[in-house]
Amino acid sequence: PAVDPEAEAKAKAEAEAKAKAEAEAKAKADAEAKAKAEADAKAKAEAEAKAKEEAAKQAEKDEAAKREAEEQALRDKRAAEMAKHKGTVTAKPGKKTKVPVTAAKVQKGMLEKIIDNLNRLHKRAS
């Protein structure tokens, strides 16, 4: 069986071209798959970052609402205590209450009042 060298060279060239085309197609497919995987990973990372940020914002809002509720409860408690305290206190220290004035049993003259005041002051000084 005689093999034609031209046909053999042609077949060899076709096989090389076919192998080269397959290698290029495989490289292209690998590059596309890699790019797609990178894009998916990037999108997933962005989604996770966004979810973390949203969770942090929500936690901050929840914390603020909880703190506000505690402060309001404390304000209500203080207001109730103040109302209770106001009910028990009758005379305020800042206001003067009117005391009924009655006449003394022994009426003293001006000179006797001055002498009593002087005696009182001298007792305190010594």
Contact 116, 108 (CB under 8 A): yes
- pLDDT tens figures, 43-59: 999 999 999 999 999 99
Q: In this structure, is residue 71 part of a structural domain?
A: yes
| pTM attached to this predicted model | 0.39
Q: Which domain holds residue 87?
A: 5-91
- Domain assignment present for 10: yes
What's the chain's Rg over C-alpha atoms? 52
pLDDT at 83 over 90: no
Domain annotation covers residue 55: yes
Q: Please report whether residue 101 resides in a domain.
A: no
Q: What is the pLDDT of residues 86-108, one digit of tens each?
A: 777 655 666 777 777 888 888 89
Q: How many domains does the chain have?
A: 1
Residues 20-46, buried b or exposed e (16+ Cβ, 10 A)? eeeeeeeeeeeeeeeeeeeeeeeeeee
Within a domain: 107? no
SS3 label, residue 97: coil
14 belongs to a structural domain: yes
